[in-house]
Amino acid sequence: MKRRTERKIIVLTRETRIDGLRKRFNSVDQVSYFIEHRGGKVADYLAEDRVYKESIARLESALQPWGRVQLLDRIYLPNYVFGPEDVVVAIGQDGLVANTLKYLTGGQPLLGVNPDPGRWDGVLLPFKVEEVGEVVGEVLAGRYASRAVTMARATLNDGQEILAVNDFFIGQRTHTSARYFIESGGVREQHSSSGVIVSTGLGSTGWLKSLVHGAAAIASLTGHGGRTPQPITLPWDAESLYFTVREPFPSRQTQCELVFGEVTRARPLKIRSLMAESGVLFSDGIESDFLEFNSGSEAVITIAPAKGVLVVR
């Protein structure tokens, strides 16, 4: 079969739930017992696995005429170097798209493919497997619609950096009390809390939304507020982020006035760790994607210089 181009098409995949369990247990019977004992259904796990892997095979076949196709498991993302001309396709759930996007710092276009529309809503998965061949052809020709996605960047005082497409979590790995100094807009406080969340426009409908609604409901039920919370929904390419402090605790040493605010390029968020151990800065809720954030570490969080590019309809 002759390819239409020699461009590389990288297909991002991830293991299924049952793949992960197979690595932990020695037999199918043990996997089945584990799932059923926790109220799950083995048949559902097997059906999800079968549909996903069939979708990957069909996707690979559809892309072969368009270029050099390479399958890449997401665990290799941190060490993979994408070429400037690569076209990237993520087939899985929304989280896989978000996780992939922050490694495409060269502006490579990313297509999100829904492998199982009956199972996943797929906000970031606008394309079905059978549509992708034609869409990739348009991408290769430079004729495609896209949306820019603002990312957050955290830079530590030792030079390490990490990006987030949805949000950062700064605090204790175990989600116990985190201690730190926080500074925004010239105001500085010492905190003891269960952590700080910094959300992007893409992440504003997720963790940020739940934090705002939860805080408003508690205030209303305790007589400290009565207004219906107004959702903070930012466009994907918004030139701002929002930070939220979870469960701040006031004491003789700690304050809790600086608990919510906007982050811009001109107004970064600064946090200095006071945690002896287990301090972390997580990206997009993925525990393997983090920087250690213990005493002596200082983070400056702002908008990343480059935006991601998502192919849309």
Q: Looking at the predicted structure, is the pLDDT value of residue 125 above 70?
A: yes
CATH of residue 256's domain is 2.60.200.30
Last residue of a domain, one of 112, 143, 174: 143
Q: What is the mean pLDDT of residues 195-206?
A: 94
Sequence-distant (6+) residues with CB within 8 A of 302 are: 152, 153, 241, 263, 264, 265, 268, 269
Domain check: are 171 and 299 in the same one? Answer: yes
**Digit-coded pLDDT (tens) for 79-119:** 999 999 999 999 999 999 999 999 998 899 999 999 999 99
Q: How many domains does the chain have?
A: 2
Domain check: are 99 and 162 in the same one? Answer: no
Domain check: are 296 and 168 in the same one? Answer: yes
Last residue of a domain, one of 102, 122, 143: 143
pTM for the full model? Answer: 0.88
Q: Per-residue b/e over 57-89, b at no fewer than 16 CB within 10 Å?
A: eebbebbeebbebeebebeebeeeebeeebbbb
Domain check: are 233 and 113 in the same one? Answer: no
Q: Is residue 1 part of a domain?
A: no
Domain check: are 26 and 78 in the same one? Answer: yes
Strands annotated E in 87-160: 87-91, 110-114, 127-128, 145-149, 152-156
Domain with 63 in it:
8-143
Q: Looking at the predicted structure, is the pLDDT value of residue 253 above 90?
A: yes
Last residue of a domain, one of 94, 109, 143: 143
- Residue entry with tokens 């700080």: 196
Pairing of strands 110-114, 127-128: parallel
Q: Is residue 311 part of a domain?
A: no
